[in-house]
């Protein structure tokens, strides 16, 4: 499962509610790009994370919930499978959800690094869901949460209703654009899973 001299430790984290009729075999097929990248022969073989304190990839059959807290060694080519994984999960999703993918620079040592040198850490946020509206709802909720957390440093929460309303207007306009694009048979910017946020900086690994 390990790759020799891997450039990154890649952490995949998220929870996705699945339709009640989704079977384990369907989930295994949807996540095939992930477990094949890990060099495994099945999802079960690849489900354990590189770190024992991470639960890995787990299907909660009672709650119909896909839980991912999984790290695999890899390189930049891991990015090539992300769109396929998102499209596959769109077909199984009950609601929208966010999936975080963090690339930790395995070759960077903060204590031994030369002054001025930086790690190649990267962070990608992906969104999946059964339809554009559910995906945009997750994007909207995360944006509102981020903006409220930022603005509450300076304003009382009760004063931020206007800001939230403006964010809702922007998403309503985007949704209208998607609907018009689909009616015209044209591809839309927000009609499927994809990357919405990227950023550097070292992030702590999730342990749940």
Report residue 27: phi and psi, to 5°.
-65, -40
- More confident of the two residues 10 and 111: 10
Q: Strand 122-128: give its sheet, edge to edge.
A: 56-60, 65-74, 8-17, 97-105, 122-128, 194-199
Cα 54 from chain centroid? 17
Q: Is the pLDDT of residue 115 over 70?
A: no
Residue with tokens 């040198």: 117
Q: Is the pLDDT of residue 173 over 90?
A: no
Helices (H), the chain: 24-30, 32-37, 43-46, 82-90, 132-151, 161-183
d(C-alpha 82, C-alpha 196), whole Å: 13
- More confident of the two residues 37 and 4: 37
Q: Based on the number of CB atoms within 10 Å of its own CB, is 207 exposed (0-12), middle (13-18) or buried (19 or more)? A: exposed
- CB neighbours of 208 closer than 8 A, spacing ≥ 6? 55, 69
Mean pLDDT of the chain: 83
d(C-alpha 190, C-alpha 182), whole Å: 11
Query: Can you give the pLDDT at residue 201?
Result: 45
Q: Is the pLDDT of residue 112 over 90?
A: no
How many other CB atoms are there within 10 angstroms of residue 145's CB atom?
Answer: 10
Please write the tens of the pLDDT for every residue from 62-107. 999 999 999 999 999 999 999 999 999 999 999 999 999 999 988 7
3-state secondary structure of 109: coil
Helix (H) or strand (E) holding 68: strand 65-74
129, 135 contact by CB (below 8 A): yes
d(C-alpha 108, C-alpha 86), whole Å: 29
- More confident of the two residues 115 and 143: 143
Angle CA(93)–CA(134)–CA(54) in degrees, nearest 5? 50
d(C-alpha 68, C-alpha 56), whole Å: 6
Please write the tens of the pLDDT for every residue from 120-164. 789 999 999 999 889 989 988 888 888 888 888 888 877 778 887
Please write the tens of the pLDDT for every residue from 29-72. 999 999 999 999 999 999 999 999 999 999 999 999 999 999 99
């Amino acid at each position: 499962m390990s790759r020799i001299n891997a450039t990154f430790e890649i952490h995949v984290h998220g929870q996705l509610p699945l339709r009640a009729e989704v079977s384990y075999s369907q989930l295994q097929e949807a996540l095939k790009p992930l477990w094949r990248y890990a060099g495994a022969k099945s999802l079960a073989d690849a489900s354990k994370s590189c770190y024992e304190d991470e639960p890995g990839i787990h299907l909660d059959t009672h709650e119909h919930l896909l839980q991912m807290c999984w790290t695999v060694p890899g390189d930049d080519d891991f990015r090539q499978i992300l769109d396929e994984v998102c499209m596959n999960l769109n077909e199984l999703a009950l609601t929208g959800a966010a999936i975080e993918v963090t690339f930790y620079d395995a070759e960077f040592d903060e204590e031994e690094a030369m002054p001025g040198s930086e790690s190649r850490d990267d962070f990608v946020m992906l969104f999946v869901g059964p339809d554009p509206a559910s995906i945009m709802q997750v994007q909207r909720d995360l944006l509102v949460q981020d903006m409220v957390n930022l603005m509450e440093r300076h304003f009382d929460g009760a004063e931020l209703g206007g800001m939230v309303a403006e964010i809702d207007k922007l998403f309503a306009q985007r949704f209208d654009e998607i609907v018009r694009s689909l009616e015209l048979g044209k591809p839309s910017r927000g009609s499927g899973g994809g990357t919405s946020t990227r950023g550097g900086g070292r992030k702590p690994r999730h342990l749940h």
